[in-house]
Amino acid sequence: MENTVFNRTENESGGRRVSTKVYNLVIGLVLCWGFFASWMIVKMIPYKSLVDINIWVFFGGYFASCFIGFFIFTKSVNPFVSFIGYNFVVVPFGLIINIVVHQYDPGLVQSAIRVTGLVTFVMMVLGSLYPAFFSKISRVLSISLIIVIVVEMVEIFILGIHHGIIDWIVVVIFCGYVGLDWSRANRIPKTVDNAVDSAASLYMDIIILFLRILRIMGRRN
C-alpha cells in the first residue's frame, strides 16, 4: 500500500505549521516512544507466550494490526489519531522484536542497536544533504524490495532455504529508505501530524534495518 503521507501538499496537511526545530523534535519524540514501547514489550511479555501462539493466528493479527495502523496514520490529519495508528504498528513490530532478540546474546543485541543507530544517523544526514538523489532512487528501492520479498518467500516456503545475501540486500534497501523517508519528511509541510506520520514510516524502516543487522551479526558470531 502506497504511503501517501509524503505526497501531501499544503492543502492536504491539516493543522498549524510549526518551526523546523519543533517538527524534528516531534519526529524524534515519536520515534523514541516507539522504541521505548518496543523495549517494554520485550521486557514485559514472556517470549514463550508468543511462540506458543498458532503461527497463522499470530501473523494474521500482525498484518491486520499493521494494516489498520498504516491506514489510520496515512489517512488522518489529526496528530492524536495518527499517533493511535502509529501504536497499532508499534505493537506488532514489538512482538516480532521480542521473538527475534530472545534468540541472541544480549551483548550482540546491544551491538546491533549501536550499529543501527549509527547507520540511521548517517543515512539521515545523507538524506538531508542529497534529497534529489534519494528521490531519484525511490522507484528502484520499491522495485528492489518487491523482488526481494518474492525471492525470500520462495526460498523459505517452497525451497526451505535462506541465503545470507538476502539480509545484506535488505539492509542496503532500508538504508536507502531511511535516507529517502527522512528527506521526504523534511520536504512536506511541517505540521505536527506530518511529523507523527513521518516518524511512523521511519520507525518501520529502522526496525526492519535493526532486525536484519542483528541477523547478519548473529550469523557472523
Could you report the per-residue pLDDT of 69-121, keeping only the tens digit for each?
999 999 998 999 999 999 999 999 999 999 999 999 999 999 999 999 999 99
- Mean pLDDT, residues 167-171: 95
pLDDT above 90 (res 161)? no
The predicted pLDDT at position 15 comes to 76
Segment holding 161, helix H or strand E: none
Q: Which cell numbers hold the place of 209?
A: 534495518
The predicted pLDDT at position 73 comes to 93
At 1, the pLDDT band (50, 70, 90 cuts) reads: low
| 28-79 residue pLDDT tens | 999 999 999 999 999 999 989 998 999 999 999 999 999 999 999 999 989 9
Higher local confidence (pLDDT), 4 or 140: 140
Segment holding 44, helix H or strand E: helix 20-44
The predicted pLDDT at position 158 comes to 84
Q: Model pTM?
A: 0.93
Rounded distance between C-alpha atoms, residue 119 and residue 137, angstroms: 18
The predicted pLDDT at position 16 comes to 85
Higher local confidence (pLDDT), 7 or 217: 217
Higher local confidence (pLDDT), 152 or 12: 152
Domain boundaries, the chain: 15-220
Rounded distance between C-alpha atoms, residue 131 and residue 30, angstroms: 23
pLDDT above 80 (res 4)? no
The predicted pLDDT at position 12 comes to 66
The predicted pLDDT at position 221 comes to 66
- Mean pLDDT, residues 160-181: 92
DSSP string, 88-157: HHHHHHHHHHHHHHTTS-HHHHHHHHHHHHHHHHHHHHHHHH-HHHHHHTHHHHHHHHHHHHHHHHHIII
The predicted pLDDT at position 14 comes to 67
The predicted pLDDT at position 157 comes to 81
The predicted pLDDT at position 96 comes to 96
> How many residues comprise the chain?
221
- Mean pLDDT, residues 158-163: 79
